[in-house]
């Protein structure tokens, strides 16, 4: 009984709006985060019990339920689902490419690119032409007619930031089918978007143009891309038979998952932390973007544990459908434009759960300098590199309402080894590296929630 009364007294006397210095808060967030490594446990659960979760799949629906439950467990003041229509593209069971060259026949390791049309049951068959740029495709002219175009421009390995190497190669994947069909090709094979030389194909989004024929598109593993290229250099003619069972269905209803810690003084001033809940249907989306999801939930859990309410609202948004549509980000922004809330900043984590170096910030110079000054606080977790330019696909939709865009910048060396492939699994994530990202996001969310960005 005495114990009970003592507890009541304690909780009554606890100062819910107590002052906590930024540096004390940062230390508490760091210590609790590193002691408990909870983001990793969440990610283990997500990858093991939900698995991959492409928009429109059962996996995504399970992820919605999982995300809501985790935000509640993390201690969010309120958690809700925001309706959004999302695409449904299904890979199906068949993705097979066979290279034929003289009497040789060789099965290439391929997978359909996300959004690709399928082929007939017998597939398409044609000679292969290797190219490295859209200029080369254009130059082929009528020689491309009826052919399968093989895009084989590799990552530039000399780029230290692998994101830049990706940026320099990814148009082959996103627009390769359009450019190839424009000159009459009937299909495309694309070298996987990675520095790694291995036998895993990497999927990812591709686009069509409604005024140009939609031709099937598949990624080839880098080992097989090198092999196919060698073959083409040695032999006069190499044909490929490509069979894909991919198919697009009508959009389906689903949700963004949202949870927040309500601010005490300016509850309508919002700091978003987020990532995307969907993943590709390869591996279990551990880094992309399971990491961003669990880090965002961990921000709620860690800041809640400070037991000091923030002045502004911190809201974790688990966005639907980043990978093939961005419908979640668009729906959220569309709703918010009609609201009376003021989204002052959004922090996205969608570059993997690796050691954080800092943040990239897109805003005016006054607010940039204000955020840059927080670098000294972020130094305790080594995330003090504040750079101009950055954000994330999901939060980019908030740009039109003036929200400061902030992207967590983790180390990029290993990301594309796993990205969009069967290699993106929990064993590639390090508990402490992942947690340090959560802590960095928590510190930045905390200080902006306390100080705002206007003075």
CB of 38 to a copy of itself, least distance (A): 12
d(CA 290, CA 301): 16
With respect to a copy of itself, which residue has the nearer C-beta, 43 or 345?
43
With respect to a copy of itself, which residue has the nearer C-beta, 411 or 451?
411
With respect to a copy of itself, which residue has the nearer C-beta, 31 or 376?
31
Q: How many CB atoms lie within 10 A of CB 384?
A: 18
CB of 365 to a copy of itself, least distance (A): 22
d(CA 152, CA 193): 10
Which residue blocks in 235-326 are alpha helix, DSSP H?
A: 292-305
CB of 29 to a copy of itself, least distance (A): 11
Contact letters (x/-) for a copy of itself, 33-52, by CB under 8 A?
-xx-x---------------
Binding of a copy of itself at residue 30 (CB under 8 A)?
A: yes
Q: Which residues of 196-226 are buried (b: 16+ CB within 10 A; e: fewer)?
A: beeebbbbbbbebeeeeebbbbbbbbbbbbe
For residue 135, indicate whether it is catalytic: no
Contact letters (x/-) for a copy of itself, 170-189, by CB under 8 A?
--------------------
Of the candidate spans 106-114, 260-268, 296-304, 406-414, the one that interacts with a copy of itself by CB under 8 A turns out to be 406-414
Binding of a copy of itself at residue 432 (CB under 8 A)?
A: yes
422 token code pair: 């069967």
d(CA 373, CA 367): 10
Of 423, 413, 441, the closest CA to residue 349 belongs to 441
Binding of a copy of itself at residue 427 (CB under 8 A)?
A: no
Question: Quick check: helix, strand or coil at residue 241?
Answer: strand
Contact letters (x/-) for a copy of itself, 139-158, by CB under 8 A?
------------------xx
Q: 3-state DSSP helix/strand/coil percent for the chain, to nearest 5?
A: 40, 25, 35
Q: What are phi and psi of 255, to 5 degrees?
A: -150, 150
Binding of a copy of itself at residue 226 (CB under 8 A)?
A: no
Binding of a copy of itself at residue 312 (CB under 8 A)?
A: no
Binding of a copy of itself at residue 382 (CB under 8 A)?
A: yes
User: Among residues 260, 298, 322, 323, which one is catalytic?
Assistant: 322
Helix (H) or strand (E) holding 360: strand 356-362
How many residues of this chain interact with a copy of itself, rule: CB under 8 A? 23
Q: Which residues of 34-59 are buried (b: 16+ CB within 10 A; e: fewer)?
A: eeebbbbebbbebbeebbbbbbbbeb
| The binder of a copy of itself chosen from 195, 284, 291, 295 (CB under 8 A) | 195
Q: How many CB atoms lie within 10 A of CB 110?
A: 26
| The binder of a copy of itself chosen from 331, 436, 445, 449 (CB under 8 A) | 436
Binding of a copy of itself at residue 414 (CB under 8 A)?
A: yes
Known catalytic residues are: 322
Where does this chain bind a copy of itself (CB under 8 A)? 30-31, 34-35, 37, 157-160, 162, 195, 355, 357, 380-382, 411, 413-414, 430, 432-433, 436
């Amino acid at each position: 009984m005495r114990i009970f009364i003592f507890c009541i007294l304690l909780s009554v006397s606890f100062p819910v709006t107590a002052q906590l210095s930024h540096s004390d808060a940062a230390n508490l967030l760091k210590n609790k985060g590193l002691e408990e490594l909870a983001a990793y446990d969440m990610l283990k659960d997500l990858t093991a019990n939900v698995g991959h979760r492409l928009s429109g799949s059962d996996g995504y629906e399970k992820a919605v339920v999982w995300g809501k439950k985790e935000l509640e467990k993390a201690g969010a003041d309120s958690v809700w689902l925001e309706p959004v229509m999302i695409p449904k593209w299904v890979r199906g069971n068949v993705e097979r490419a066979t290279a034929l060259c003289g009497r040789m026949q060789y099965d290439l390791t391929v997978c359909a690119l996300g959004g690709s049309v399928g082929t007939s049951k017998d597939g398409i068959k044609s000679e292969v032409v290797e190219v490295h740029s859209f200029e080369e495709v254009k130059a082929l002219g009528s020689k491309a007619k009826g052919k399968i175009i093989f895009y084989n421009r590799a990552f530039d390995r000399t780029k230290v930031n692998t994101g830049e190497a990706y940026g320099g190669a990814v148009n082959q994947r996103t627009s390769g089918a359009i450019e190839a069909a424009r000159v009459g090709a009937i299909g495309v094979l694309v070298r996987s978007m990675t520095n790694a030389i291995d036998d895993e194909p990497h999927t990812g989004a591709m686009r069509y143009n409604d005024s140009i024929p939609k031709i099937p598109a598949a990624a080839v593993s880098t080992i097989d891309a090198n092999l196919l290229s060698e073959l083409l250099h040695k032999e006069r003619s190499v044909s490929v038979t490509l069979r894909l069972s991919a198919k697009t269905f009508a959009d389906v209803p689903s949700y963004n998952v949202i949870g927040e810690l309500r601010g005490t003084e300016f509850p309508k001033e919002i700091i978003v932390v987020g990532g995307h809940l969907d993943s590709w249907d390869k591996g279990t989306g551990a880094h992309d973007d399971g990491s961003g999801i669990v880090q965002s939930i961990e921000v709620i859990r860690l800041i809640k544990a400070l037991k000091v309410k923030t002045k502004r609202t911190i809201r974790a948004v688990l966005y639907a459908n980043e990978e093939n549509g961005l419908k979640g980000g668009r729906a959220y922004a569309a709703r918010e434009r009609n609201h009376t809330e003021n989204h002052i900043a959004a922090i996205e984590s969608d570059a993997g759960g690796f050691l954080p170096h800092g943040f990239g910030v897109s805003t005016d110079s006054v607010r940039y300098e204000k955020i840059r000054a927080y670098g000294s606080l972020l130094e305790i977790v080594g995330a003090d590199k504040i750079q101009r330019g950055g954000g994330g696909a999901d939060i980019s939709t908030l740009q039109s309402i003036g929200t400061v865009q902030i992207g967590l910048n983790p180390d990029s060396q290993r990301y594309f080894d796993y990205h969009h492939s069967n290699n993106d699994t929990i064993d590639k994530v390090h508990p402490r590296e992942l947690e340090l990202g959560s802590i960095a996001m928590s510190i930045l969310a905390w200080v902006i929630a306390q100080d705002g960005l206007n003075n």
